[in-house]
């Protein structure tokens, strides 16, 4: 059983149809503070690999972040990217934010899609603490404007069909692999596009999506409208512990 008490229950989280189609931005925000020297230093490391284009730059950035920012269960989705880089550890949300910051610093517009994911999807991570898992998790899923088209984070390393066909398995949340790390290996399919009619792909995560809140010009805007997964008092209590707790490899 998931727990509704730890979530900001006073917020209405209905689908925001007005935000379904929005333009992205390259502006620095409180979270995506790409003008900070630490973000600039990260971009310098990425550029030393001499990526051929913006898409390759983001793929390189993903690898660099995966190698240098240790995955943890931090619950502060509004943490500035510069702080994540200083600490050298971050949640999936925080590591995705770092990737967005690199994109914006490179002139690539980004936006996010707000997804409410069933908390039971995270049961394999916390088998003995299921009663503390939020009933729904708010996920800011990034999209990047590349070559005049919007590409979701899951498509940076190929189409969902290509990644699904080439993967031995989908993302299960059952081991040390995180959503962020899985992007380069398998299809992270929130829409069910990898499933054939009458069949269910191992990469199809659409059944875990409780609501699609639409698209927002930044993760800052999403969290301002819908809050974070955990209520402020719970975040304050949980963050010191979870921000140092890494998935078991």
Range of the domain at 37: 17-242
Q: Residue 205: which CATH number?
A: 3.10.620
In the chain, how many domains are there? 1
Determine, yes or no, domain membership for 135. Answer: yes
Determine, yes or no, domain membership for 75. Answer: yes
In terms of residues, how long is the chain? 249
The Cα–Cα gap between 165 and 2 comes to: 33
- Residue 228 near residue 235, CB atoms below 8 Å: yes
Torsion of the alpha carbons at 181, 185, 189 and 193, rounded to the nearest 10: 170
Identify the bridge partners of residue 71 per DSSP, sorted by sequence position: 90
Residues of the chain with pLDDT under 50: 1, 10, 17-19
Determine, yes or no, domain membership for 63. Answer: yes
So what's the pLDDT on residue 128? Answer: 75
- Residue 61 near residue 46, CB atoms below 8 Å: yes
* Two tokens, residue 57: 């730059």
Determine, yes or no, domain membership for 5. Answer: no
So what's the pLDDT on residue 245? Answer: 65
In this prediction the pTM is 0.89
Q: Are strands 89-90 and 70-71 parallel, antiparallel or unpaired?
A: parallel
* Alpha-carbon separation of residue 238 from 140, 206, 220 (angstroms): 20, 28, 21
- What is the crossing angle of helices 37-47 and 54-68, to 10°? 110
Determine, yes or no, domain membership for 72. Answer: yes
Determine, yes or no, domain membership for 6. Answer: no
The Cα–Cα gap between 179 and 115 comes to: 14
Determine, yes or no, domain membership for 107. Answer: yes
So what's the pLDDT on residue 88? Answer: 96
98: Cβ–Cβ under 8 A, 6 or more apart, which residues?
Answer: 39, 42, 61, 65, 69, 81, 84, 85, 90
So what's the pLDDT on residue 168? Answer: 66
The Cα–Cα gap between 69 and 6 comes to: 27
- Residue 157 near residue 163, CB atoms below 8 Å: yes
DSSP 8-state secondary structure symbol assigned to residue 130: G
- pLDDT tens figures, 14-38: 555 444 679 999 999 999 999 999 9
């Amino acid at each position: 059983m998931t727990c509704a008490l730890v979530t900001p229950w006073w917020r209405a989280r209905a689908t925001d149809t007005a935000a379904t189609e929005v333009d992205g931005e390259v502006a620095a925000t409180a979270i995506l503070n790409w003008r900070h020297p630490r973000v600039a230093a990260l971009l310098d490391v990425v550029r030393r690999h001499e990526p051929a284009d913006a898409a390759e730059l983001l793929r390189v950035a993903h690898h660099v972040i995966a190698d240098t920012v240790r995955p943890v269960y931090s619950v502060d989705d509004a943490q500035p990217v510069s702080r994540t880089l200083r600490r050298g550890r971050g949640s999936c949300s925080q590591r995705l934010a770092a990737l967005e910051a690199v994109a914006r610093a490179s002139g690539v517009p980004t936006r996010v899609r707000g997804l409410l994911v069933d908390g039971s999807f995270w049961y394999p991570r916390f088998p003995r603490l299921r009663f503390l898992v939020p009933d729904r998790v708010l996920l800011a899923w990034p999209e990047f404007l590349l070559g005049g088209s919007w590409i979701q984070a899951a498509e940076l390393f190929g189409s969902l069909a290509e990644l699904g066909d080439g993967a031995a398995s989908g993302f299960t949340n059952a081991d040390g692999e995180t959503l962020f790390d899985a992007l380069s290996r398998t299809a992270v399919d929130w829409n069910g596009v990898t499933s054939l009619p009458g069949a269910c792909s191992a990469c199809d995560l659409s059944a875990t999506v409780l609501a699609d809140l639409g698209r927002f010009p930044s993760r800052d805007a999403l969290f301002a409208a819908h809050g974070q997964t955990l209520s402020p008092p719970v975040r304050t209590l949980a963050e010191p512990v979870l921000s140092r707790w890494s998935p078991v490899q």
